[in-house]
Chain A
Amino acid sequence: GEDVEQSLFLSVREGDSSVINCTYTDSSSTYLYWYKQEPGAGLQLLTYIFSNMDMKQDQRLTVLLNKKDKHLSLRIADTQTGDSAIYFCAERGGRRALTFGSGTRLQVQP
């Protein structure tokens, strides 16, 4: 079945860039997503990328997709303390439901 993996924790200093990595196994993935979850809250869609794209940039966010290696990354430029949260990578393959990674907890130190 589908599997999505992420590192569990990342700590950066305020103002630095953060890079969160994700790998997936489903070769039929059509869309890949990054969601943000703050404590006790639901999921906020940050960005998504279609599988035929290599890169997508949206303000401080840059998504890179290496389809050959099934590797997805999210770069947050000029990371702020408000960016501290859990970031989930998710993929959508043949069916419409999403498969989520385990989440990466981003801690931004002042």
Chain B
Amino acid sequence: GAVVSQHPSRVICKSGTSVKIECRSLDFQATTMFWYRQFPKQSLMLMATSNEGSKATYEQGVEKDKFLINHASLTLSTLTVTSAHPEDSSFYICSASRREDAYEQYFGPGTRLTVT
């Protein structure tokens, strides 16, 4: 099956620092990756859609300068939370599609970010 990994699984950082989260498709090429954010006991909210080789498409209300997304290859997308604040603490989950309009998205295990 298709496997998506995320690194790190858990990170604690100080306010004002930046944190990079990696999302990798291990055994398939992902033309599109999605980044979601999940607050405790809440649903997943789409943050942005990341297409290989082009700029990410951000959802309304998501600051593109704060959440930098880079999809440099067909197997790797990164999300960098810049100048992190405690309110950025959350569970960040990525997913990947094998190709455009594929019915299935494969989800990573998530990264828990805590900003102190």
- Count of A residues near B, CB < 8 Å? 22
Chain B residues contacting A50 (CB-CB under 8 Å) are: 103
Do B107 and A45 touch (CB < 8 A)? yes
Residue of A whose beta carbon sits closest to that of B102: A96
Chain A residues contacting B95 (CB-CB under 8 Å) are: 43, 98
A67-110 contact mask (Cβ, 8 Å, vs B): 1 or 0: 00000000000000000000010001001111111110000000
Residue of A41, A97, A101 touching B109 (CB-CB under 8 A): A41
Chain B CB within 10 Å — which of A45, A50, A88, A97 has the most?
Answer: A97
Chain A residues contacting B32 (CB-CB under 8 Å) are: 96
Chain B residues contacting A41 (CB-CB under 8 Å) are: 109-110
Do A42 and B108 touch (CB < 8 A)? yes
Residue of B whose beta carbon sits closest to that of A30: B103
Which residues of chain B from 66 to 116 have any CB-CB distance to chain A below 8 Å in the complex?
93, 95, 97, 100-110, 112
B44-58 contact mask (Cβ, 8 Å, vs A): 1 or 0: 111001000000000
Complex alpha-carbon distance, A43 and B100, angstroms: 21
Do A48 and B104 touch (CB < 8 A)? yes
Chain A residues contacting B112 (CB-CB under 8 Å) are: 40
